[in-house]
Chains A and B, each alone.
Chain A
């Protein structure tokens, strides 16, 4: 089951941009065959060697078709990276049914749909599932009730898949902290004093910088390979040390 990442036939959900794109490009560079999907059409700058399917992971029928397409393109999937995710910045009291359907649809049902669709192949041929969880599934981000809960779901499902579907299938999750994507940059731009906000946030990162999409891709590459062959059912926190420290730091007041 632990192929070198060069030999993987991989599905990466949500590969259009950000973390997903970095994972797609890393797996391609390592020699894997990669198919990705998103709710939009193929991005204009999509790498020629990777495949793209327009699909919403929240929809079981579209996921079934997506996995059938992957099987037609490269055979049984050996690596699934559940990266697709959405967030709605609201408290529970402010969240409506549409918010629930969106966040739980993509972040929870989407991960479930994808795992259910590839597991029959993986149970036969072996496979590796890597879910993108979040530090928000462990400690709460304010005004992110549904998102935080959806990521805790991902952590729990990760353990269940590892327990139920070993030894042929391994399953782990990566819980990123602050990864600088377009979404995070927009957050700083909205701050009263953007530079002060950046300085404060940096001071809360023991490694002295924010994460980059490539940091997550590095962890995916390691989890996808034989060096992590004994690791299963774990949620790996990748946050530059941020959550190792107390959220209350008087030195930063």
Chain B
């Protein structure tokens, strides 16, 4: 099969979530062999129709799971070209309302998960790099790692940690041909965003969802929020050898939202 990712092997954590599915589908269209790794086959959505990805059960916060997932890929292919650390959770609370357990769970999935999956993927990725090919790790930061949304303290902090980890990993592993970047989405239409809209914290103001969503669109310079496919477009490029010189960067993809100062009602 031809495509920008032909002959590449990819593993996407959170691969059955809203954004993860779009990435898997795109990778498959581009000719890659794709493993969708997630807690269960349906991920954060209700059901899953076969999209050609191979499912792996993986709790990213569990070291044995991470080790086993990479051992499986090693056995099947002997290499891994692309790792996308898309698994993530969001606790919608201030620090005062966040329990230690919730805080630890945020960091376990968003930060430790990125650490563990990358750690056990690296030996496989070294086999993929070389002869003009690069291996690519794409982490999931967030625009919330730069600026805060109210009532998302643990999430904001965990994404800031992913940003710093991305740069550290890029420093350490780019010399081996393994590039490391993070993409930092803004508002993307996913189950996580719908939960934010429906939440009784920062997302809810009593109005109906449709008018809330329109108001959110209107604040964006692009007058819309993003789709999982928009994210997949960027992940696909970063995963490909077209991006062979790109490493250690935090790629904000937010429809121009964070380029603006606060939008007052004047």
A residues contacting B by CB (< 8 A) are 135-136, 139-142, 187-188, 190-191, 196-197, 200-201, 204, 242-253
Contact = CB atoms under 8 A, between A and B. Distances in A.
Contacts of B187: 248
Nearest to A136: B261
Contacts of A201: 262, 264-265
Nearest to B265: A200
Given A246-B144, A253-B215, A142 B202 contact: no
Given A244-B147, A246-B147, A249-B202, A139 B260 contact: yes
A135 B205 CA distance: 28
For the complex of A and B, list the 4 residue pairs with the smallest distance between their C-beta atoms, beginning with the closest.
Answer: A200-B265, A253-B215, A139-B261, A204-B262
Nearest to B264: A201
B150 interface: yes
B263 interface: yes
A190 B202 CA distance: 29
B261 A246 contact: no
A247 B262 contact: yes
Given A246-B143, A251-B202, A200 B259 contact: no
B62 interface: no
Contact of A248 (B205, B216, B264, B265): B216
Interface of B: 143-144, 147-150, 186-187, 196-197, 202-205, 207, 211-212, 215-216, 219-220, 257-266
Given A247-B263, A250-B197, A253-B205, 14 more contacts: A140-B261, A200-B265, A242-B262, A245-B148, A246-B144, A246-B147, A246-B148, A247-B258, A248-B186, A249-B150, A250-B196, A250-B216, A252-B205, A253-B207
A142 B260 contact: yes
B212 A250 contact: yes
Question: Does more than half of chain B's interface fall in helix, strand or loop, or is it mixed?
Answer: loop
Given A197-B264, A244-B148, A250 B259 contact: no
Contact of A139 (B216, B219, B259): B259
A247 B203 contact: no
8 contacts: A187-B266, A201-B262, A243-B147, A244-B147, A245-B148, A246-B147, A248-B220, A253-B215
A149 to B, nearest CB: 13
A188 B266 CA distance: 7
Nearest to B203: A250
Nearest to A144: B261
Contact of A245 (B150, B196, B207, B257): B150
Contacts of A247: 147, 219, 257-258, 260-263
A87 to B, nearest CB: 13
Nearest to B187: A248
A82 B258 CA distance: 28
A244 to B, nearest CB: 6
Contacts of B197: 250
Contacts of B264: 197, 200-201, 204
B200 to A, nearest CB: 11
Contacts of B205: 250-253
**Which of B204, B219, B260, B265 gathers most chain A CB within 10 Å?**
B265
A250 B197 CA distance: 8
Given A246-B148, A251-B150, A253-B207, A140 B262 contact: no
